[in-house]
Amino acid sequence: MSESNRSRLILTVVSVVCALLALFRLISGHFPTARLWGLNHLAYFPLHFRILITVAGLLVCLPAIRTLALRTMERLLAVRIPLNKHLLHLSIAIGSLPVFWFFRSSTPLLGDGTLLITELNQGISTATIRKEPLTVLVNFHLSRLLNRFFSWDVETTCAVIGCVLGVLFVFLVLRFLDFLKVSSATKWLFFTVIVIMGSSQLFFGYLENYTFHYVTVFAYILLGMRFIKGRRHLVLPLLLFLLCFGFHNQAVVLSPSLLFLLVFSLGRRKPIVMRFLTFRNVCAGAIISLFVFAGIYFLKGFHIEGGIFLPLIRPLGRGDLYTLFSGNHLIDIGNQHLLISSSGIILVSALILSSWRKIDWNDPNISFLFLGAFYLLIFNFVADPELGMARDWDLFATSGIGYTVLAVFLVTRVVREKNFARHLGVVLAGTAVVAAVPWFLINANESRSVERFKNLLALGGERTDYGYEVLGIFYRKKGMTDDVISALDNAIEVNAENPRYYIMLGNAYKKKGLYEQAISQHRHAIQMRPNYAPAYINLGSVFARQHRYEEALTAYKKAAELAPRVPETYNNIADAYYHMGKYDLAWKNLRIADSLGFEVNPKFIKALERVSEEPK
């Protein structure tokens, strides 16, 4: 087959696949509760929007429309901008900041946003800092600093940090495409493919701990390629790898690609080493590593849940467990990659299948990119998404970077016909836009975001109880108490062994004035975990609301006995003594609360001063 015919065939196949994907997204939009969470985003929009964006996805697959789009691009690119290349890239990157901010996430429902806000308000979590130490430290200290200067809360601070990281990512993508030396039109088309991946949701004020990691992984890939090209020293990708690991320890999966760079560096001084750096040997090493991993996996207990990796089989008596080769997990893997980079999947698949023999597999850049993409995908497949992959999609967002960058690099090395590359870029850029824009718009709108989150939880499974709790916290902040109760009832239905859910439910009943139901829930939490101080604190608060101060005092004292370093407890004890007329004891416990760092309500102090004189 001639080069021209091969190019036309690839373009036709890619166009047909992209058109079918656009139609499938439209169809899946009629099934918002199906396990199609990576595709059915149109379900949350009116019919006219669904039709409009589907038509746009189909039009970019037509030759006439592609030609028109390219001519328009050429006219725009013909306009001379009086800036050098670096200033232009910086200006474009900074110009993306308002977009990220304006369409930022409207709720903290996705991922672990609610937990992140709570932890940063309370201090650094030991459990979290083990996995992502640098991310936690940077978020914590920046949130304190920005709160001091601008009075921003934690949620605003994290949103700003995410948007600023988006600016850095846009700049790095421009530098990467500049490094590949592609034509101007092709550069901007593939810029769109990379920047408008679904995983770029991380930059829209997203509240999670993976945004720093995502950006540094891309920077590591870029500097690794520049080192191979001879433009940078090995110390830079090495430092970036350490940063990646500091931001999240899942970066350990990039170790094989770093090892490749180290061996490549040695090969520059000892050419005989280069004989072993063939793509065949790289693949052999990857396969051997998988066998080693499989052996460790079996030795560690492949049927046990609760570890880092998904269990391989269901334990006896468990028919609902999410396992490595379960249908739900395999479907979720497909959804994950259709969400984060559908264009990247299509492009890399098309190039490898159609141009296998044309690719110079011994190009060290390909080996480096392959190792990064391969192990990121393996991590995506075997790691346990504790929240369920539909809500833990961000944990695996970097897996899309690996194969998308590999796909763009292969285009620059395989495709010699400039016009073909541009037409291919139009199809894939258009597909990326129509896939990602509805996803961004859902998360930017509160009602759509909540509706989608509820549909994800309705997929069921043993991992949804925390999701219902998060939904309950969201409703609580909105003052929607009946919805709080409904969400917590669902959480308890999934997992009746968590006393925290009963405490939250009791507080919701207290807010509605249903005190006996509230007391019942708190006592149930105490029965489940007799040494759980928050249950006693909340039980005491219900008694205090009913003016049953002696019973409240008993509960508060038990809480202080179990958790003597919680300052709020002593403030509550002081409040109970105050209402009982025992002002000296109220002052005593108020001073304890103050010594532990509690900000005592000034109105309470004035009330005490009016009725008593503080003991000397």
pLDDT one-digit tens code per residue, 169-197: 999 999 999 998 877 888 899 999 999 99
Per-residue pLDDT, averaged over 253-262, amounts to 94
Domain that includes residue 175, residue range: 3-450
Is residue 30, in this structure, part of any structural domain at all? yes
pLDDT at 362: 85
pLDDT at 306: 58
Could you give the CA distance from residue 252 to residue 606 in angstroms, rounded to a whole number? Answer: 57
Among residues 127, 50, 30, which one has the least CA distance to residue 438?
Answer: 50
First-to-final CA distance of the chain:
98
- Residues 354-381 have pLDDT tens digits of 888 888 888 899 999 999 999 999 999 9
Is residue 62, in this structure, part of any structural domain at all? yes
Is residue 321, in this structure, part of any structural domain at all? yes
**pLDDT band, very low/low/confident/very high, at 46 (cuts 50, 70, 90):** very high
Could you give the CA distance from residue 555 to residue 573 in angstroms, rounded to a whole number? Answer: 9
H or E, element range at 226:
helix 211-229
Q: Which two tokens stand for residue 587?
A: 């002052």
**What number of H helices and E strands is found in the chain?**
28, 0
State the total domains in the chain. 1
Strand partners, 309: 383
Do 538 and 503 meet the contact criterion of CB atoms below 8 Å apart?
yes
- Residues 556-570 have pLDDT tens digits of 999 999 988 888 899
pLDDT at 164: 95
- Residues 499-542 have pLDDT tens digits of 999 999 999 999 999 999 999 999 999 999 999 999 999 999 99
Could you give the CA distance from residue 162 to residue 116 in angstroms, rounded to a whole number? Answer: 13
- Residues 432-469 have pLDDT tens digits of 999 999 999 999 999 999 999 999 998 877 778 999 99
Percentage of the chain exceeding pLDDT 70: 94
Residue 616, pLDDT above cutoff 50: no
Q: Which residues contact 356 (CB under 8 A, 6 or more apart)?
A: none
- Residues 271-326 have pLDDT tens digits of 776 777 788 888 998 999 988 888 877 776 665 655 788 888 766 555 567 888 88
Is residue 312, in this structure, part of any structural domain at all? yes
Is residue 431, in this structure, part of any structural domain at all? yes
Could you give the CA distance from residue 558 to residue 542 in angstroms, rounded to a whole number? Answer: 15
The two most distant CA atoms of the chain are separated, in Å, by 98
Is residue 520, in this structure, part of any structural domain at all? no
Mean pLDDT across the chain: 88
Could you give the CA distance from residue 133 to residue 137 in angstroms, rounded to a whole number? Answer: 6
What letter represents residue 181's amino acid?
K
Is residue 227, in this structure, part of any structural domain at all? yes
Could you give the CA distance from residue 200 to residue 197 in angstroms, rounded to a whole number? Answer: 6
Do 372 and 257 meet the contact criterion of CB atoms below 8 Å apart?
yes
Per-residue pLDDT, averaged over 216-243, amounts to 91
Is residue 509, in this structure, part of any structural domain at all? no
